[in-house]
Structure 1
Amino acid sequence: MDHGILSLLPPVLALVLVLITKRVLLSLGVGILTGALMIHQTEDMFVNAAVMDILNIVTNIFITEDGINTWEFYIILFLLLLGMIAALITITGGGRAFGEWAMKRVKTRIGAQFTAAFLGVIIFIDDYFNSLTVGNVSRPLTDRHRISRAKLAYVVDSTAAPMCVISPVSSWGAYIIAIIGGILTTHGVVQYEALQAFLLIAPMNFYAVFAIIAVFAVAYWKLDVGPMRDHEIRAVETGELVDRSKGAIPGENTEASPQAEGKVADLLIPILTLVAATVIFMVVTGIQATEGAPSLLATFENTDVAAALLYGGLISFASALLLSFMRKVSVKHISFGLWSGIKSMLPAIYILIFAWTIIEIIDGLGTGEYLAAQVDTFIPVALLPALLFLIAGFMAFSTGTSWGTFAIMLPIAGDIAAATDITMMLPVLAAVLAGSIFGDHCSPISDTTILSSAGAGSHHIDHVLTQLPYAVLIGITATASFLTLGFTGSTLLGLLTGIIVLAVILFLMRIYTQKLPAPVLQKG
């Protein structure tokens, strides 16, 4: 049945409800139910048919005629393992030990900011873990060098999500690869697997790439503008790292707290083990599934990502658990930490299941085909990446959730590309991912932004206002890159455009800041 403009109702309803209620699961659930009712509206007992259709879709996520659907099931297990690994690293004191180690070796303000930024790049397994860990690990070091907490929060926030969204070995990577896999399967795209598509998309995620570059440039050239400059001047001149007039700093998450002295190895071993083991199992499963002499490309085209993530996660978890026992952490504290880690991942798992479900519903309604017809009539296809970047940015800003934006916008973008120009599939998916991070960075209700404030020990509103100018400037850079990508189809030219635009912006910022009086360090 051709639903025409009514095919927009479920996704639009979900978008509106998210904006009003700020509750992603409820909004997606209403969209899913509405779509299922529309699909079965001509049938007798259509309500029962719609409910059964939804239940079948959810059931098929985990169980098929051939048995357990290992892809989705393994992804969920991996997310649970990540939560537990993060909790174990915290309770062993690994994060705190690293901070103490760094304090003895980093001697300058630039070096302290670089250390926090490098940690944000390295600790990419999960954004929550990144935001809280990097902030807490770096704070003793940045405090000593009189770096404002708002500046630290900016460094933390602008490396956490951008790194997670381009790394396949992360909770974000697993989540996004799972959604992309469903989209590719739905539209019969077979020239690349989900992992390969993700790796091709990563350099097209212009906002994430340039946000990370900007963090190092801002630190090195002291490009403190707007409210950020006020915070940095106060910190350097008086040693006051926060605005005391705004009251107490929001409390930290204390569910999982250090229970041992810990060593640097307690942080490095589980993370390095996770990365190394996952890569090894990607290669192994790829070779096993490749006929004949496997090439590197063929290996990664055929790798079982979900299985590799699960096996890597299990080995990393075992190493973290062993370190916990070696540090003589009590079974009680370990158990409490593991449970808190599991709970931290449940919201992501719920959203993921709803995302898989709405992909099938939207496809059944033909929403993408209808939108594609309108886009093809009124909007040049070349403008799609830039347009979807801005739309996803607005949605993430309004809802405070990049994951919810992924769940709603990625299937729509995939449907539009499939119906207009299949070669635009990866660029439009990249645009949604980039726009979601952009909006998330600008949003005061973003969970990652809130956790970055908490981890850095900054007043939340200070973090939002100081980060906003930088996020907008990177958003302008990314928009220029997506315009180039849309018209040329070249990732390289898109990156080159962004580099030129970003260089001009940084140059103008440097000229501006050099004309301002430098803060004077007061002793004491």
Structure 2
Amino acid sequence: MTLTSYADSALSVLPPLLAIAMAVITRKVLLSLGVGIILGVALLTNFQPVNGAEHLAKSVTGLFWDDGAVNSDNLYILGFLIFLGMTTALITVSGSAKAFAEWARQRIRNKRDAKLMTIALGIVVFIDDYFNSLVVGSVSRPITDRYYVSRAKLAYILDSTAAPVCVISPVSSWGAYIIAVIGGLLTARGFTETSHLMTFVEMIPMNFYAIFSLALLFAVAWFSLDVGPMQQHEIKAQRGELFDAERGDPPGANSELEEAQTGSVAGLFIPIVSLVAATLGFMIYSGAAELEQFSILGAFENTNVGFSLFWGSIVGLLVTLVLSLKQSLETRLLVQAIVVGGRSMLPAIYILLFAWTIGGIIKELETGLFMVHLLGDSISPEYLPMLLFILAGITAFSTGTSWGTFGIMLPIAADMAMGTDTSLMLPMLASVLAGAVFGDHCSPISDTTILSSTGAGCHHIDHVLTQLPYALIVAAISMVGYLVLGLGHSVIIALITCSVLLTAVIALLKYRQAR
């Protein structure tokens, strides 16, 4: 079957934009993604129904079986979700989540402390964004619920500490991937004076979106700055409505489970520590297997994240099950927890499968390449960091993937720097990284956004709409930062500019809130 090419056509943008617009308007994510998928397949097959059905079947099958072999990466992530749901449910029925909430209540004095604790956990658990969103969400939810923090606010905290932390951390799945990609690009273009790791470290202060997303997040938590739809969610949370109950339980919820009265704080932390340690160990193991000479950074560069999350979650589940058996919980409760916990992740899995499908369709439509072609060749070099940030944001928003945007745009940014001003090489690469995270934060079809709402127990589209104003604020500040960086070639001046702007925004929001 011959597919129609849309690399140079604005039609390639229609499927993702339609899916996103429908998701926002109808608030029905699966329906919206399904319509986007059907339109994308129709475009690829020139609106031939038989060929379209055949190609759609091939795309869906490819999620599980690709090139004559099991698509283990996707299956590992799905398995991780199911096992994590089971682990969370077992912790719930053991009463350990309740025990931790009681323990934390003696130390977490108020709503602000609950939010700051979640931020701190999100920063500490930096090895992978999926892992961050789901595990930190599971640990923090009992505390934030106790202090009536809305699930939408929790989802925002999780999402704003997941990708922003991972993208500036060299020892993470993101950092290792970025170091490998950028290292190859710079070596091929003759930049061999510094190591790939030091180049990545040098780029960290240039990632304005990641830095100021975290800064705004701290301000939001400290001053309770509720912007746009988030304000309504927080008002409802004070009445005990932590999420929109009229739309049913969100993914990851285990409201139908009984909780034992014999739980302990250790029953929560031992499984989580086991899960973290096992995942980290499997990440190093799977990466080291690809190396001739072992190094920690090399292991992270080559790690198999899906494999590591899957086996780490199995270890976490087994440890939780053993602790539950030692607690002498009824077999009925354990079986119920395993069934309900696995089933609670199904809504998230459905959305993820649809998002992966439309992501594959978007890749075939070459939407990302079309977005890049919009730039043209007549842009002054000083404006390129800012424009690349904007274009990377639009591309990630449309495609729903940060990593896919990295793969498309980092080589193009490197070539543009080589052809214009090589002193802007690192700022341009950093602007792509920042823009990709921004677009990913705003996109309803992003897997990271989906998993953050799952970890928080928040309805997905509520998370998207409540996070959007905060993301746009930081994006506007970052755009100015990249303009200053391009014009003045000074990271310090750009950081000072962004800091002044963020301070002014926080002061304005506080003033409006006080009125």
TM range (shorter): 0.5 to 0.7
Distance 1:308 1:37 in 2: 37
Query: Is the counterpart of residue 242 in structure 1 residue 246 in structure 2?
Result: no
- Picking from 431, 435, 458, the partner of 2:435 is 431
Provide Cα deviations, 1:446-474, integer angstroms capped at 9, x if missing partner.
9967996979xxxx99x988x88755543
Distance 2:356 2:512 in 1: 53
Distance 1:52 1:30, change over 3 A: closer
Distance 2:352 2:457 in 1: 26
Shift of 1:370: 3.9
481-490 vs 334-343, which moves further: 481-490
509-518 vs 473-482, which moves further: 509-518
Distance 1:62 1:219, change over 3 A: closer
Shift of 1:300: 2.1
Secondary structure at the aligned position of 2:375 is classed as helix
**Which runs of structure 2 are paired with 1:76-115 in the superposition (5 Å)?**
76-106=78-108, 111=113, 113-115=115-117
Distance 1:202 1:130, change over 3 A: farther
**Which runs of structure 2 are paired with 1:121-270 in the superposition (5 Å)?**
121=123, 125=131, 127=133, 130=136, 134-140=140-146, 142=147, 149=148, 156-166=154-164, 206-217=208-219, 222=223, 242=238, 251=245, 253-261=253-261, 262-270=263-271
Distance 1:436 1:263, change over 3 A: same
Shift of 1:369: 3.8
Letter in 1 for 2:140: V
Query: Is the counterpart of residue 382 in structure 1 residue 388 in structure 2?
Result: no
Distance 1:69 1:296, change over 3 A: same
User: Where does residue 276 of structure 1 map in the other structure?
Assistant: 277
User: Where does residue 502 of structure 1 map in the other structure?
Assistant: 499
Letter in 1 for 2:477: T
Distance 1:515 1:15 in 2: 33
Distance 2:73 2:226 in 1: 46
User: Where does residue 400 of structure 1 map in the other structure?
Assistant: none
Distance 2:173 2:400 in 1: 9
Distance 1:65 1:13 in 2: 26
Shift of 1:309: 1.8
Distance 2:279 2:165 in 1: 12
Distance 1:78 1:191, change over 3 A: farther
Distance 1:164 1:314 in 2: 22
Distance 1:49 1:205, change over 3 A: farther
Distance 1:88 1:473 in 2: 39
Shift of 1:486: 7.4
Provide Cα deviations, 1:478-497, integer angstroms capped at 9, x if missing partner.
4344556778999xx49x84
User: Where does residue 37 of structure 1 map in the other structure?
Assistant: 45
Contact 1:283 1:303 in 2 (8 A): yes
Shift of 1:376: 1.9
Distance 2:407 2:335 in 1: 42
User: Where does residue 398 of structure 1 map in the other structure?
Assistant: none
Provide Cα deviations, 1:368-388, integer angstroms capped at 9, x if missing partner.
444433322476653344314
Shift of 1:11: 3.6
Letter in 1 for 2:329: V
User: Where does residue 406 of structure 1 map in the other structure?
Assistant: 400
- Picking from 4, 12, 15, the partner of 2:14 is 12
User: Where does residue 372 of structure 2 map in the other structure?
Assistant: 372
Shift of 1:213: 3.2
Contact 1:128 1:451 in 2 (8 A): yes
Distance 2:438 2:102 in 1: 35
Q: Where does structure 2 lack aligned partners over 5 or more consecutive residues?
A: 24-28, 189-196, 416-424
Distance 2:465 2:155 in 1: 10
Distance 2:132 2:60 in 1: 25
Secondary structure at the aligned position of 1:387 is classed as helix
Contact 2:393 2:437 in 1 (8 A): no
Contact 2:227 2:470 in 1 (8 A): no
Distance 2:386 2:347 in 1: 34
Contact 1:259 1:333 in 2 (8 A): no
Contact 1:93 1:260 in 2 (8 A): yes
Contact 2:94 2:260 in 1 (8 A): yes
Distance 2:50 2:441 in 1: 39
Shift of 1:348: 4.0
Distance 2:153 2:4 in 1: 49
Letter in 1 for 2:72: T
**Which runs of structure 2 are paired with 1:278-297 in the superposition (5 Å)?**
278-291=279-292, 293-297=293-297
Contact 2:286 2:304 in 1 (8 A): yes
Distance 2:123 2:340 in 1: 24
User: Where does residue 419 of structure 2 map in the other structure?
Assistant: none
Shift of 1:290: 0.8
Distance 1:2 1:381 in 2: 31
Provide Cα deviations, 1:27-70, integer angstroms capped at 9, x if missing partner.
342144124313xx8xxxx6544444444444444335563333
Letter in 1 for 2:441: I
User: Where does residue 318 of structure 2 map in the other structure?
Assistant: 318
Distance 1:464 1:370 in 2: 27
Distance 2:305 2:156 in 1: 27
Secondary structure at the aligned position of 1:294 is classed as coil
Shift of 1:101: 0.8
Letter in 1 for 2:474: I
Letter in 1 for 2:103: W
Shift of 1:257: 3.6
Shift of 1:511: 9.6
Secondary structure at the aligned position of 2:259 is classed as coil
Distance 1:468 1:250 in 2: 18
Distance 1:225 1:484, change over 3 A: same
Distance 1:433 1:391 in 2: 11
Distance 1:28 1:298, change over 3 A: same
Shift of 1:327: 3.1
Letter in 1 for 2:499: L
339-348 vs 106-115, which moves further: 106-115
Shift of 1:277: 1.0
Distance 1:411 1:32, change over 3 A: farther
Distance 2:482 2:221 in 1: 26
Distance 2:452 2:305 in 1: 26
Distance 1:343 1:214 in 2: 35
Query: Is the counterpart of residue 26 in structure 1 residue 34 in structure 2?
Result: yes
Letter in 2 for 1:383: M
Contact 2:83 2:313 in 1 (8 A): yes
Q: TM-score, normalised by structure 2?
A: 0.67
